[in-house]
Amino acid sequence: MSHSRRTFMKTGALAAIGLAAPTILRLGGRAWAADEVPVGIMYSLTGTTAIVEKSMNQCAQMAIAEINAKGGVLGKKLRPIIEDPASEPRTYSEKARKLTIEDKVPVIFGCYTSASRKAVLPVVERRKGLLVWPTWYEGEECSKNVLYAGSAVPNQQLENSLPWLKKNLGRNKLFIVGSDYAFPRGMAKTSKTICKGIGMEVVGDEYLPLGHTEWASMVSKIGSSGADVIFSNVVGDSIVAFYRELRNQGYDFEKLPLCSSTTTEVEIKAMGPEYAKGSYVSLPYFQTVDTPQNKVFVEAFKAYAGPDAVTHAAMEAVYIGVHIWAMAAEKAGDVSPEAVVANAGGLSFDAPQGKVTIDAENLHTYLTPRIGKTRDDGLLDIVDQYPQPLLPLPYSGVGETADKRICTAKGATL
Amino acid sequence: METFVIGLSIASILFMVALGLAIIYGTMKVINLAHGEMVMIGAYVTVLATKHLGFNLYLCLPLAFLVTAGFGLVIERTVVRRLYGRLLDTLLATWGIALILQQLIRIHFGLGLFGIHIDGLGSDLQNVPVPAELQKTLYFLGANIPVYRAFIFMVALLLGAITWWLIYKTRFGSQLRAVSVARNTAAACGVNDKRVNMLAFAYGSGLAGIAGVLVSGFKTVSPDMGTPYVVDAFLVVVAGGVGHLVGTFISAGILGEVQSFVATWLNDVYGRTVLFAVVILILLFKPQGLFVSRSR
């Protein structure tokens, strides 16, 4: 017994040294070739949100390859360092720390959920790093270490869609349903402010936990609430169960229209297009956007990721983020976070969705609000779009307007 | 009325999952934490069979039963059999099996490592086409009843009846009951208790597989979908009295309806809370569950 224990200890110690060796050898720090700029890419390749984030990772790599093919930034090639935060907010913050401290990257392209952004935020703020954040989110954030490139805020998804539902479909009684966390609650807050302004009645505002898949009671509650239109901020796996339950209980999107802020081409593909057919989505980008840039973008991505790949809003935002960052660094003549942030304001990029511009005050993006209607093949027909990009107002839920800004270059003043 | 039907359908799924669990626990005193994964495998059988074999949902019911029963058989023969009488060990072992099964689906049974990807496996969400006649709603007693939910209820009733017949009317059933009451005595009387165990485990797993097929029609199919079912099914088994068919049936009904009514009245989060509270109350006042088998 004692013998075998000793052997165990020996092998254990050897194994420990073996495992530790690479770290010890690496202590000297990383030396990058002088003609390269390391950039962090941090989207989950495993875990619950991997389905969407995988395509965002591919899109970031594609955009970086495009930039490198044109000679890189300031004559230097971008070198992507890819980390997998595994859909865990805590891992996001660890990986962000690793990227900023150990790899010394001047920028991280990453995050998809608000929870992950909130986990990374303290890291980039304390270490004076930069996060380029892509996803549409609940707003009420005004960090100077985050470039909200391509990321829509509630006013850019709601200011167009709620009045449209009232005017074009003649709907007046809104039921807001969402997953229970910051984004859907923030969306509901802004929705209520807008509804008050246009005279729509909010008859329900309900939440179920993230990942909840038993929607029967909620759906029958929507039915008995007297609502004549649903606005959905349901996220992730739940979307599929929710849409399927609506169908099973005999709802028809022509009679009871549903508009979602979150259901992209990816989720529609996952649930089967016949379940989403006829429902609306409000986002700045759909695969069907008719611009020359988008044709090139869709073709390039299919060539990169395979012919079955779909493009979607979160992915397009990643694409915008990488390009805007490169333009800002080029303009500043420096890749450091402060220089990029100081020069990003006012920059425009011809994105697949059309022209996008970074607002100098709040570092958010002017985007073109669009409403899509789901068709048989799982893509969306665009039924409404703004003639030009709309000003981002991250604090619209608490009364921010174009004349009375809450988030300015100096930070948020509430 | 609609709420009642929703409750019935929740109860039906609970009943099918719990029934298998009750049989397995009743016969061999094994708490099978991999039971939820049998639901998951049933759902994936449906995804794969509809995608690659062109099966419809009805044909998937017997197929999923056979496949999950097969999985159950293998698990019993390779792992559980060696751990009889060691409750904690079986708990851990079956939990481990549950994790392994989830990951196997994620990595395409290991084929993913060689770059082979089977359409329908992997960590993505999957969906199953539902026959058109099940997507309708019926107008009945002043309420719109989703046909799919009614279908689930019918299948559950049918399975309940078959299980009752199997346990109380067949030779295998009397052996099963004998083994669950007094294993050694039964074995001494010439009952092959190992074989009974094996078949009971397979049958219980098969029932969960059928529940998986039905669940796949209205929920998301993903590798970790099964886990919540084990917890719920355990509540049903514990509240209904261990190893009692009628008890499982009635407690599934009660818990399903409680959840449905509270969820409609307040919301699902409260529904779950009240559900747990009810189970705790039942256990406080009837520690053996609602129904107690007199034989013990």
Q: Is B260 in CB contact (< 8 Å) with chain A?
A: yes
> Are A270 and B127 within 8 A, CB to CB?
yes
Rounded CA gap, B148 and A150, in Å? 42
Of all residues in chain B, the one with the smallest CA distance to A209 is B269
User: Of residues A289 and B136, which shows the higher confidence score?
Assistant: A289
B125 vs A51, A217, A247: nearest CB: A51
Give the list of residues 6+ apart from residue A357 with CB closer than 8 angstroms, or none.
Answer: A346, A347, A348, A349, A365, A366, A389
Rounded CA gap, A147 and A145, in Å? 7
B124 vs A51, A217, A272: nearest CB: A51
> Are B125 and A50 within 8 A, CB to CB?
no
Q: Give pLDDT tens digits for A146-174.
A: 999 999 999 999 999 999 999 999 899 99
Cβ(A153)–Cβ(A183) under 8 Å?
no
Instruction: Write out the H or E segment, with its range, that includes residue A110.
Output: strand A108-110
Distance between B118 CA and the closest CA of chain A, angstroms: 15
Four-residue CA torsion sign, A369, A374, A378, A382 = negative
B149 vs A contacts (CB less than 8 Å): 216, 248
Q: Is B119 in CB contact (< 8 Å) with chain A?
A: no
Helices (H) and strands (E) in chain A, counts: 14, 17
Among candidate residues A327, A338, A412, the one with its CA nearest the CA of residue A130: A338
Alpha helix stretches (DSSP H) within A26-88: 50-69
Given a cut of 90, whether residue B189 has pLDDT beyond it is no
Q: Which of B57, B220, B269 to mutate to test the interface with A (most CBs of A within 10 A)?
A: B220
Given a cut of 80, whether residue B119 has pLDDT beyond it is no
Residues 63-92 of chain B whose Cβ lies under 8 A from any Cβ of chain A: none
A215-224, A363-372, B32-41, B242-251 — which is least confidently predicted? B242-251
Rounded CA gap, B68 and B37, in Å? 9
Of all residues in chain A, the one with the smallest CA distance to B126 is A270
Of all residues in chain B, the one with the smallest CA distance to A177 is B267
Distance between A308 CA and the closest CA of chain B, angstroms: 12
pLDDT on residue B115: 63
Q: Write phi, then psi, for A204 (nearest 5 degrees).
A: -160, 145
> Are B149 and A248 within 8 A, CB to CB?
yes
> Are B264 and A270 within 8 A, CB to CB?
no
Token pair in block for residue B173: 């059933």
Rounded CA gap, A191 and A181, in Å? 16
> Are B219 and A244 within 8 A, CB to CB?
yes
Give the list of residues 6+ apart from residue B106 with CB closer than 8 angstroms, or none.
Answer: B112, B121, B122, B123, B223
At CB < 8 Å, which residues of chain A contact B?
A: 46, 50-51, 180, 206-209, 212-214, 216-218, 220-221, 223, 237-238, 240-241, 244-245, 247-250, 270-272, 275
User: Of residues B287 and A318, which shows the higher confidence score?
Assistant: A318
Cβ(B73)–Cβ(B80) under 8 Å?
no
Write the CA distances from B17 to A212, B159, B243, integer angstroms. Answer: 19, 11, 14
This model's pTM is above 0.95: no
A214 vs B10, B135, B146: nearest CB: B10
Q: What does DSSP assign to residue A219? A: H
Q: Which amino acid is at B72?
A: G
Q: What does DSSP assign to residue A253? A: T
Average pLDDT over residues B101-125: 72
Cβ(B15)–Cβ(B252) under 8 Å?
yes
How confident is the prediction for chain B on average, in pLDDT?
Answer: 83
B125 vs A180, A212, A240: nearest CB: A240
Helices (H) and strands (E) in chain B, counts: 11, 2
Q: Which amino acid is at A290?
A: D
Q: pLDDT-derived band of residue B112, with 50, 70 and 90 as boundaries?
A: low
Given a cut of 50, whether residue A2 has pLDDT beyond it is no
Reported residue count of chain A is 414
Rounded CA gap, B177 and B10, in Å? 28
Q: pLDDT-derived band of residue A23, with 50, 70 and 90 as boundaries?
A: very low
> Are A220 and B123 within 8 A, CB to CB?
no
Write the CA distances from A250 to A65, A225, A290, A313, integer angstroms. Answer: 48, 16, 34, 30
Q: Give pLDDT tens digits for A31-74.
A: 556 689 999 999 998 777 777 898 999 999 999 999 999 999 99
> Are A208 and B267 within 8 A, CB to CB?
yes
Write the CA distances from B39 to B44, B82, B158, integer angstroms. Answer: 9, 24, 18
Given a cut of 70, whether residue A6 has pLDDT beyond it is no
User: Of residues B183 and A56, which shows the higher confidence score?
Assistant: A56
What share of chain B in percent tops pLDDT 90? 10
User: Of residues B55 and A124, which shows the higher confidence score?
Assistant: A124
Distance between A385 CA and the closest CA of chain B, angstroms: 31
Q: Which of A175, A214, A255 to mutate to test the interface with B (most CBs of B within 10 A)?
A: A214
Beta bridge partners of A146: A131
Cβ(B148)–Cβ(B217) under 8 Å?
yes
pLDDT on residue A42: 96
Q: pLDDT-derived band of residue B292, with 50, 70 and 90 as boundaries?
A: low
Cβ(B75)–Cβ(B13) under 8 Å?
no
Given a cut of 50, whether residue A25 has pLDDT beyond it is no
Cβ(A394)–Cβ(A140) under 8 Å?
yes
> Are B218 and A244 within 8 A, CB to CB?
yes
Give the list of residues 6+ apart from residue B83 with CB closer than 8 angstroms, or none.
Answer: B30, B89, B90, B93
Q: Is B269 in CB contact (< 8 Å) with chain A?
A: yes
Q: Which of B267, B273, B274 to mutate to test the interface with A (most CBs of A within 10 A)?
A: B267
Distance between B129 CA and the closest CA of chain A, angstroms: 8
A240 vs B123, B148, B220: nearest CB: B220
Q: Which of B13, B14, B40, B127 to mutate to test the interface with A (most CBs of A within 10 A)?
A: B127
Given a cut of 90, whether residue B82 has pLDDT beyond it is no
Q: pLDDT-derived band of residue B296, with 50, 70 and 90 as boundaries?
A: very low
Q: Is B176 in CB contact (< 8 Å) with chain A?
A: no
Average pLDDT over residues B37-64: 87
Distance between B198 CA and the closest CA of chain A, angstroms: 33
Q: Which of A249, A252, A269 to mutate to test the interface with B (most CBs of B within 10 A)?
A: A249
Average pLDDT over residues A228-245: 88
Q: Which of B119, B218, B231 to mutate to test the interface with A (most CBs of A within 10 A)?
A: B218
A248 vs B126, B218, B267: nearest CB: B218
Q: pLDDT-derived band of residue B117, with 50, 70 and 90 as boundaries?
A: low
Size of interface A-B (CB pairs under 8 A): 86
B124 vs A contacts (CB less than 8 Å): 51, 270
ipTM metric? 0.74
Instruction: Write out the H or E segment, with its range, that includes residue A237.
Output: helix A237-248
Q: Give pLDDT tens digits for A125-141.
A: 999 999 999 999 999 99
Given a cut of 50, whether residue B3 has pLDDT beyond it is yes
Given a cut of 70, whether residue B243 has pLDDT beyond it is no
B127 vs A240, A249, A250: nearest CB: A240
Given a cut of 90, whether residue A301 has pLDDT beyond it is yes
Token pair in block for residue A162: 């709620």
B31-45, B265-279, B282-296 — which is least confidently predicted? B282-296
User: Of residues B266 and B97, which shows the higher confidence score?
Assistant: B97
A237 vs B149, B222, B268: nearest CB: B222
Among candidate residues A295, A283, A314, the one with its CA nearest the CA of residue A390: A283
Q: Give pLDDT tens digits for A179-219.
A: 888 889 989 988 998 999 899 999 999 998 887 878 888 88
Q: Is B125 in CB contact (< 8 Å) with chain A?
A: yes
